[in-house]
């Protein structure tokens, strides 16, 4: 049993497509917002996989760094979206 870049890309594709589906399908915008971290997770998995399997010989850790940045950006986007939607009873 082994893992290669194609398997990593398949998982990343599934996460991105599930996020896009959630963002498009949900009627409630705060529920649709939950699809954004899924798409970012797919991008992060692809970047870590590329670094793990394809970028040998180049500088390491950059793909991981982008994955961390994407995770932080996902939380920031969720916080921004929920902040824009407002709290219950604030208006």
Partner 1 sequence: MDSLHAIGFYVSSGISLAGALGVALLPRRDQRGAALGVVGLGLAGLYVSLSAGFAALLALLCYLGAAWLIASPQYRSIEGVAGAAWRQMGAVGGAGLLAVLAYSAFRGDLVHAVYYGGEFGATALSRLMFARDAMATEAVAALVLVVLAGATAAWRVRERGR
Taking the complex as a whole, the smallest distance from the CB of residue 19 to partner 1 amounts, in Å, to 7
Q: What is the DSSP string of 30-73?
A: HHHTTHHHHHHHHHHHHHHHHHHHT-TTS-SSHHHHHHHHHHHH
Nearest approach, Cβ of residue 72 and partner 1 (Å):
6
CB of 13 to partner 1, least distance (A): 3
d(CA 89, CA 7): 47
């Amino acid at each position: 049993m082994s893992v290669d870049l194609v398997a990593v890309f398949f998982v990343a594709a599934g996460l991105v497509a599930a996020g896009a589906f959630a963002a498009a399908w949900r009627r409630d915008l705060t529920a649709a917002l939950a699809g954004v971290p899924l798409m970012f997770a797919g991008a992060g998995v692809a970047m870590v996989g590329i670094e793990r399997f394809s970028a040998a010989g180049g500088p390491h850790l950059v793909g991981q760094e982008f994955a961390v940045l994407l995770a932080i950006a996902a939380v920031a986007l969720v916080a921004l979206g929920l902040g824009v939607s407002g709290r219950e009873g604030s208006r």
